[in-house]
Structure 1
C-alpha cells in the first residue's frame, strides 16, 4: 500500500516542479530521490527484487508529468501500458539507504517506446531496467506510434535502440490478445 502513497507524492511533486521549473525536454533524465523503507525489504534484509519495478514506476510518473506527456495523454484519452520489462541487479539496496531513480527515454521501434530506469547511489548504478511501453486508447485499441511521436516532442534523433533490445522484445512477447495463449509446460 505504501507505493500508492509514494506514487501520489511523486505525482504532486512532479506537478509542482513542472509549474515552478517549466517542462523537461523529452530527452532529459528524470530523477526521483527515494529511501529504502521497511516495506521494501525482504527476509534477506535488502530491497525485494519485485519492489524495484514498482519503484521504477515512480520515475515514469515523474518523467511523464514533467515532460508534459501526461497532459498530452489526458487530452487525447490515452494511457501507457508496459508490454515488457527486464531488470538487472548489481548491488543490493539496504534498509534506510537513500538512492535515486533515474529515468530516460532510450528510443522506439515501430510499435513501442523504450525507457531505461536506474537505481543509483552516489553516482553508482545498483540496478537497471529496460521498459517497453505502448499507448492505448481509453475507448479501446492501440495508438499507432506515429501518432504518439507526432503528439509529443520526442525527437527522431533518439539513440538507436540496440539490436539486443529488438531481439529481447521479440523473444519475450506473448501472443496477441486475439490469439490463444494456452499454458503448456512441455
Structure 2
C-alpha cells in the first residue's frame, strides 16, 4: 500500500520550510521499517522508488510546482528512470535523502535523488525523467518553469544524463513481443 501517512508527515514537517528553487537540494530523513523490507531483510527495490516520492513531492511543493500544477490543472508523471543500488538499507536504518532537479530539455525535467547512510555511504541513486502533462499532452518545461515564483536559468545537462538520454533513445518502443505462449 502507498504510504500516504508518511507523505502527509513529510508535507507537515516541511510546511514552513523556506522555498527552494527546483535545482536546489531538498534534504529529508527516513527510516526503513520492517514493512519496507523484502525476503533478504533489506529495503525492497520497489519501496525504494516509493521512498523517493517522499523526497520528490515535498521538493515540488517547496519549489512552487504543486501550486502551479493545481492552478493550471496540470499533472506530473514519470517517463523514465535509471537506478543504481550500491548498499543495502536494513530494517530500522535511518537514511538521508537528497532530491533536486538537474535540468530540462524540450519535453522533460530531469531529477536526481540519492539515499545516504549514517556512515556517509550512498546506498542508491536515481535519475528520473519527468513530464508535466496537460489536456493536450506534455507541457513544455519552459512554460512550466515560467509559472514558478522565481526565474531559473537553464544549464546544460551533465554528460552522464545526455548519454543516458541518447542510450534510451535507441531502445525499441514498443518492446519486441516474442511469442511467450509457446513452449
Give the TM-score taking structure 1 as reference length: 0.84
1:6 aligns with 6
Distance 2:151 2:125 in 1: 22
What corresponds to 1:104 in structure 2? Answer: 100
Is 1:184 aligned to residue 177 of structure 2? yes
1:131 aligned onto 2:128: yes
Q: Which residue of 1 aligns with 2:153?
A: 156
Shift of 1:183: 4.8
Residue 93 to residue 164, structure 1, CA distance change in 2 (3 Å): same
Q: Identify which range, 84-93 or 114-123, moves more after superposition.
A: 114-123
Determine the structure 1 residue equivalent to 2:20.
24
- Is the CA contact (8 Å cut-off) linking 1:30 and 1:104 kept in structure 2? yes
SS at match of 1:86: strand
Give the number of equivalent residue pairs: 176
Cα gap change, 1:102 to 1:182, in 2 (>3 Å): closer
Q: Structure 2: where are the runs of 5+ without partners? A: none
Q: Is the contact between residue 23 and residue 103 of structure 2 (CA under 8 Å) also seen in structure 1?
A: no
Partner secondary structure for residue 83 of structure 1 = strand
Q: Give runs of aligned pairs for residues 163-182 of structure 1, distance below 5 A.
A: 163-172=159-168, 181=174
Structure 1 regions of 5+ residues with no counterpart? none
How many angstroms does 1:170 deviate by? Answer: 4.4
| Inter-partner Cα distance in structure 2 for 1:157 and 1:136 | 20
CA deviation profile, 1:48-96 (whole Å, cap 9, x unmatched)? 1121111001111110111111111111111110000011011100000
Q: Are the equivalent residues in 1 in contact too, given 2:112–2:127 (CA < 8 A)? A: yes
- Once residues 73 and 172 of structure 2 are traced to their aligned partners in structure 1, the CA distance between those partners, rounded to angstroms, is 26
After superposition, give the CA deviation of every residue in 1:119-141 in whole Å (9 maximum; x if it has no partner): 0123331110000101001x342
- For 1:95, what is the secondary structure of its paired residue? coil
Q: What CA RMSD, in Å, does the superposition of the two structures yield over aligned residues?
A: 2.2
Normalising by structure 2, report the TM-score: 0.85
Out of 46, 50, 63, the residue aligned to residue 59 of structure 2 is: 63
2:110–2:127 Cα contact (<8 Å) kept: yes
- Cα pair distance change 1:154/1:175, threshold 3 Å: farther
